[in-house]
Amino acid sequence: MWMTCKCAVVNIPFGGAKGGVLCDPYAMSAAELERLTRRYASEITLLIGPDSDIPAPDMNTNPQIMSWIMDTYSMHKGYSIPACVTGKPLAIGGSEGRIEATARGVMIIAREAMREAGIKPENCSVVVQGFGNVGAVSARLMAELGCRIIGVSDVSGAVYNPKGIDIQYALRHAKEHGALRGIPGTEAISNEALLEVPCDILIPAARENQLTRSNTGRVQARLIIEGANGPTTPEADSMRRTAMRSAPGNQSEVVVVRAKIDQAFQAVHRGLRGLADHERYDFVYTRISNTEPYYKQLVSLVGPAEAVAIIVDAWMNAEKVAQ
């Protein structure tokens, strides 16, 4: 449902379906992962396609996996169909800027939220939960903005330093050691404790339901910029302190994906970097700002009927709301 809501609030005509395989890809060899991916792609061939359902990468997937899905689908159809998936390598029609699209959108939303809250980057402390494509790139971009990253986490746990963490070093350390734990000058803490660290901005960029009824009262961030899908439960959202603001920040990915699908159908390729840095993200910020009432209403729903009604209403009023 989160993907459906996310697409609706930015007026993108995607349904938001999800699918996957329950496995640990890090415990598999490259050959095993390829066989699994291709078999999965074969089984869903009748369900996917450029005119029906277009798979995109998410947790534990990457451009290589998406290229296997594209190749398998194309083999079944008898000719190459690049538009059947997104997130492919650049060499076979992928989008420039696609990998960091979500994180760059997070940074743009955070920057604008900071401006509205009167927080200067040089005085801003940031905590990032999750160190995948969204979390790691968000941390890097926030650091480049001038913010001080004081805490980051991955599956191994969290590291914390109130004076700041060198994100470039953290990226190298994670690549070399496979985990963030052990970065010199940092304190090892739990992922749960990281969410409660005093900071100006908290970016939950891992999984759903991280800020819940049980821990939201201890969260000390001034701003929460959501990099993951649904990291804040409806109960937690209603319990937030009045001084704390929250904003959805990961819609930019689907905007970039939509642009790439349009290119695939037109059989053209444009340089996406400049457009991604300006038009797409300005569009995302404007849409999120103007449709925030819809988003807040969606996350507090208790039944599918109301969800459908609100999504349809958002679609019908999209142009009026965006003015």
Q: Which residues are catalytic?
A: 18
**What is the per-residue pLDDT across 85-109, written as a single tens digit (0 to 9) for each?**
988 887 887 776 667 777 888 888 8
Q: What's residue 94's pLDDT?
A: 76
Please list the residues that pair with 149 across neighbouring strands.
126
Q: What is the mean pLDDT of the chain?
A: 79
- CATH code of 101-248, in short, is 3.40.50.720
Q: Is the pLDDT of residue 287 over 80?
A: no
Stronger pLDDT, 272 or 221, i.e. the higher one: 221
Cα atoms in the 13 Å half-sphere on the side-chain side of 91: 3
Q: What's residue 128's pLDDT?
A: 97
Those residues with Cβ within 8 angstroms of residue 206's Cβ, 6 or more apart along the chain or in another chain:
129, 130, 132, 135, 153, 191, 228, 231
pLDDT band at 209 (very low <50, low <70, confident <90, very high): confident
Q: Highest-confidence range of 18-27, 34-43, 87-96, by mean pLDDT?
A: 34-43
| Cα–Cα nearest to 14, from 292, 296, 258 | 258
pLDDT band at 322 (very low <50, low <70, confident <90, very high): very low
Tally Cβ neighbours within 10 Å of residue 69.
24
Structure tokens at 69: 């899905």
| Cα–Cα nearest to 244, from 207, 193, 200 | 200
- Indicate the length of the chain as a whole number: 323
Give the helix ranges, DSSP H, for 78-151: 101-117, 133-145
Structure tokens at 95: 């989008």
Q: What's residue 240's pLDDT?
A: 60
pLDDT band at 158 (very low <50, low <70, confident <90, very high): very high
Is 16 in a helix, a strand, or coil?
Answer: coil
Domain pair 2-94+252-322 / 101-248, same fold: yes
Instruction: Check if the beta carbon of residue 164 is closer than 8 Å to that of residue 151.
Output: no
Q: What's residue 258's pLDDT?
A: 56
The mean pLDDT value for 307-319 works out to 48
Q: Exposed, middle or buried: residue 136 (CB in 10 Å: 0-12, 13-18, 19+)?
A: buried
Global confidence as pTM: 0.72
Structure tokens at 111: 């920057």
Centroid of chain to Cα 263: 22
Q: What's residue 135's pLDDT?
A: 93
pLDDT band at 1 (very low <50, low <70, confident <90, very high): low
**What is the per-residue pLDDT across 161-199, written as a single tens digit (0 to 9) for each?**
999 999 999 999 999 998 999 999 999 999 999 999 999
Determine whether domain 2-94+252-322 maps to CATH 3.20.20.70: no
Above pLDDT 90, what percent of the chain? 41
Q: Spell out the domain ranges in the chain.
A: 2-94+252-322, 101-248
Instruction: Check if the beta carbon of residue 240 is closer than 8 Å to that of residue 217.
Output: no
**What is the per-residue pLDDT across 120-148, written as a single tens digit (0 to 9) for each?**
999 999 999 999 888 999 999 999 999 99
Stronger pLDDT, 203 or 278, i.e. the higher one: 203
pLDDT-wise least confident of 66-80, 207-221, 233-247: 233-247
**What is the per-residue pLDDT across 227-250, written as a single tens digit (0 to 9) for each?**
887 788 877 766 665 445 555 555
Q: What's residue 170's pLDDT?
A: 96
